[in-house]
Structure 1
């Protein structure tokens, strides 16, 4: 395998934000009368855009309840980010190793730019990707459609088949595969390696596992 660009998802790959968000969302959904475990939230929503999630909630719970859900979960998650959010273990070293090896990188996430400025900023990662951060808000169709990853590759002037994508969700892996890119599935998050492999990913367990593979593959 050889790659000219490594595209990182953000939540769950660069920043360990999904554990916080999933915990809050499962509790609030259950309180609102639609019982969800954390595993349910992972299967149903992780990897999708906030807009897609809220659209499904509005269809199920109605507009007023969905607005309440959005307000409460956003407030609680942001408060938890300020005290609990950290970078995914080993990812700083991985990103720095790629840059040292001359491997270009970028971020392509379903999250908004405002959210990524907050989460990447809180974890000290924003400066490593500034100017190379792409949001699902920039394309018409979010993951699992390939649009976001193809958009990132185009902006980074790289052919899709020369891109590696680091993902932790089924929706993200499917998007990468649909884009014709190599998907690496991080099994150290909330989605099992078996599920990620079934979606088409090359599975790995720790960020350290990717350092040699991706650094050595630069350009050829």
Structure 2
């Protein structure tokens, strides 16, 4: 369920675990995640070097809330690579695996989909990237089986610049 809309995940968790979450669960969850990020979040090994090596504009396209995106980037020291190119499903109203979130980002930045690359670490993002008509790279850090046609799977960020080329 990595990358899915939180509101879609919660009913599944309730059903699978035969529980009823409290009405304030989402707010409490977000507060805990913010505190954990502040205390423990670290950038993926090699991501800063990969971003530095890649030419062109970059964006974050996430199913998470905009404030969470900004917080994570600030903590990891990666904000400078993206500027204002931050696209949240909560702002756009489109959640992965709908390709519309990537298409919106490309259009907002002035690019045609076929001239864009998607780098995602979850199956729903990979699916959205492929369906958007973009070259799609799966950051497969857990070495999961990936049979999606047209997707380039890689295990370490240091591989990315060579895969994409400049």
Instruction: Choose the corresponding residue for 2:148, options 188, 193, 199.
Output: 199
Q: Give yes or no for contact 1:54–1:66 (8 Å, CA) kept in 2.
A: no
Q: Are 1:115 and 2:71 an aligned pair? A: no
Instruction: Choose the corresponding residue for 2:40, options 84, 105, 110.
Output: 84
Q: Which runs of 5+ in 1 are unaligned?
A: 1-44
Output the CA distance in 2 between the equivalents of 1:66 and 1:184. Answer: 38
After TM superposition, the runs of 4+ consecutive aligned structure 1 residues lying more than 6 A away are 58-62
Output the CA distance in 1 between the equivalents of 2:148 and 2:124. Answer: 8
**Alpha-carbon RMSD:** 2.4
TM-score (structure 1 length as normaliser)? 0.67
The correspondence of residues 148-159 of structure 1 with structure 2, limited to 5 A, is: 148-159=101-112
Highest RCO, 1 vs 2 (Cα 8 Å, sep ≥ 6)? 1
Which secondary structure does the structure 2 equivalent of 1:199 belong to?
coil
Question: How far off its partner does 1:128 sit?
Answer: 1.9
Q: Are 1:164 and 2:117 an aligned pair? A: yes
Output the CA distance in 2 between the equivalents of 1:206 and 1:87. Answer: 13
The correspondence of residues 5-154 of structure 1 with structure 2, limited to 5 A, is: 45-54=1-10, 56-57=12-13, 65-98=21-54, 102-154=55-107
Output the CA distance in 1 between the equivalents of 2:97 and 2:22. Answer: 23
Question: How far off its partner does 1:66 sit?
Answer: 4.7
Q: CA offsets, 1:153-209, max 9 Å, x none?
A: 1011111111110011110100011101111001114xx441xx3234210110111
Output the CA distance in 2 between the equivalents of 1:71 and 1:141. Answer: 21
* CA spacing shift, 1:50–1:152, aligned 2, 3 Å: same
Q: Give yes or no for contact 2:66–2:91 (8 Å, CA) kept in 1.
A: no
Output the CA distance in 1 between the equivalents of 2:56 and 2:103. Answer: 18
Q: Which runs of 5+ in 2 are unaligned?
A: none
Output the CA distance in 1 between the equivalents of 2:110 and 2:101. Answer: 14
Question: How far off its partner does 1:140 sit?
Answer: 3.5
Which secondary structure does the structure 2 equivalent of 1:67 belong to?
coil
Q: Are 1:184 and 2:137 an aligned pair? A: yes
Q: Give yes or no for contact 1:57–1:66 (8 Å, CA) kept in 2.
A: no
Output the CA distance in 2 between the equivalents of 1:187 and 1:126. Answer: 23
Count of residue pairs the alignment pairs up: 165
Which secondary structure does the structure 1 equivalent of 2:72 belong to?
helix
TM-score (structure 2 length as normaliser)? 0.87
